[in-house]
Amino acid sequence: MVSSEYERRIAARFATFDQDGNGSIDREDFSGAAKALLAEFGIAARSDRGQALYGGAEAFWQGMAGIADRDGDQRISREEFVNGAVKRLRDNPDGFAEIARPFLHAALALADPDGTGTASVTDTARLLGCLGVPQEVAEAAAATLDADGDGKVAEGDIVTAFARYFTVPE
């Protein structure tokens, strides 16, 4: 049984992935997210961290296309998202996390120049916000992830939160 509330949340997730709002999820949405992150953190695209981020974005797109682009037109339509991606992501949130991890690892590196494997709560909220997570949701999630209250969030926790947002309707 699919509730209308569930469908509403799925529509919101689709809109989050469809960053440029052209009605389909495609490679440009992922490279656009990378570009937004680089702008937010003031990192040059041609830098090592910039190139790593674009590489992660491409891998993320390829992973999503492998799951959902059934007709192979290099776009994930709304129907492909609802009928393919949503079910598979919901059934396998860990698989989604693995697809997203290289991108998130590279994104975290933007906020973690010393390579500590953590980001501040503030930067975590900025990261999630650049990825289309609504700002109030991003801020609440970042604060929740800092369970011990030291102001830092670990990479693994960011990956988990991201996967949960996209795969489990609240």
Could you say which of 10, 14, 18, 142 contacts Ca ion (CB under 5 A)? 18
Q: What is the CA radius of gyration of the chain?
A: 15
Residue 130 tokens, joined: 């650049």
Measured distance CA(146)–CA(150) in Å, rounded: 7
The phi, psi pair for 75, rounded to 5°, reads: -140, 145
Per CB under 5 A, 69 contacts Ca ion: yes
Q: Using the rule CB under 5 A, give the single segment among 49-57, 70-78, 87-95, 158-166 that binds Ca ion.
A: 70-78
Q: How far is the CB of 68 from Ca ion (least distance, A)?
A: 7
Per CB under 5 A, 79 contacts Ca ion: no
Q: How far is the CB of 131 from Ca ion (least distance, A)?
A: 14
With H, G, I as helix, E, B as strand and everything else as coil, classify residue 71: coil
Q: How far is the CB of 29 from Ca ion (least distance, A)?
A: 4
Per CB under 5 A, 98 contacts Ca ion: no
The phi, psi pair for 154, rounded to 5°, reads: -85, 155
CB-based contacts of 102, cutoff 8 Å, min separation 6: 55, 56, 59, 60
Residue closer to Ca ion, measured from CB, 20 or 98: 20
The secondary structure of residue 81, as a DSSP letter, is I
Q: How far is the CB of 23 from Ca ion (least distance, A)?
A: 7
- Give the residues lining the site for Ca ion (CB under 5 A): 18, 20, 22, 29, 69, 71, 73, 75
